[in-house]
Amino acid sequence: MKKAYARRGVTPEFQAERFVLNPQAHTLTCPRGQRWVYQQAQHDRAGVRQHVYGARAADCRAWASRPQCCPTRQQGRTIARTENSPEVAVFLEKMQTPEAQKICRERARVAEFTHAWLKAKIGLRQFRVRGLNKVLCETLWAALTYNLQQWFRIVWRPQQFTAPA
Ligand code: SF4
């Protein structure tokens, strides 16, 4: 992000983190004390919203700081503030805990090969059915197939090649 600002000629004292959010008034205050008005909310991706604030070009024209703040825009500059849905916020908070990070680190060792096998060998890249019960069924069939294949490989096949005592 800092590189993008540098490319556009925005100096560090006018980057987005130097703007102050006023939650009650739903406005942003720029480093020169100008109030930016709320323009719109946009859906970015699932669970994330972008709140867009904008400067009034007429307000900014009077300021000598304009070349460092919005050098490439004739209209007023805009800034989008990202807000997670409550569910995503709870999830992200949970993922900061040591327990969650431990599980996450183990994921590669425990689940990656299984996922890759299910995708590559039986083509389970997306479910072929709809509805929770049907999806659960398809998942269980896939898990059973994987477990049987592992059992053949690790238990059954070596027994075939073991000479009887
Ligand atoms: S150009 Fe406008 S938004 Fe930027 S610092 Fe100056 S008054 Fe604030």
For residue 69, the ligand 1 atom closest to its alpha carbon is 4
Has residue 99 got a pLDDT over 90?
Answer: yes
Give me ligand 1 centre to Cα 22, in Å. Answer: 16
Backbone angles phi, psi at 84, to 5 degrees: -80, 150
Give me ligand 1 centre to Cα 44, in Å. Answer: 26
Has residue 1 got a pLDDT over 70?
Answer: no
For the stretch 103-154, pLDDT in tens is: 999 988 889 999 999 999 999 999 999 999 999 999 999 999 999 999 999 9
DSSP structure string for 48-67: EEEEEEE--HHHHHT-TTHH
Instruction: Please report, for the chain, the start and end positions of each structural domain, with discontinuous segments joined by +.
Output: 2-90, 111-155
Q: How far apart are CA 142 and CA 148, in angstroms?
A: 10
Task: Give the end-to-end CA distance of the chain in Å, rounded to a whole number.
Answer: 69
Share the mean pLDDT of the chain.
88
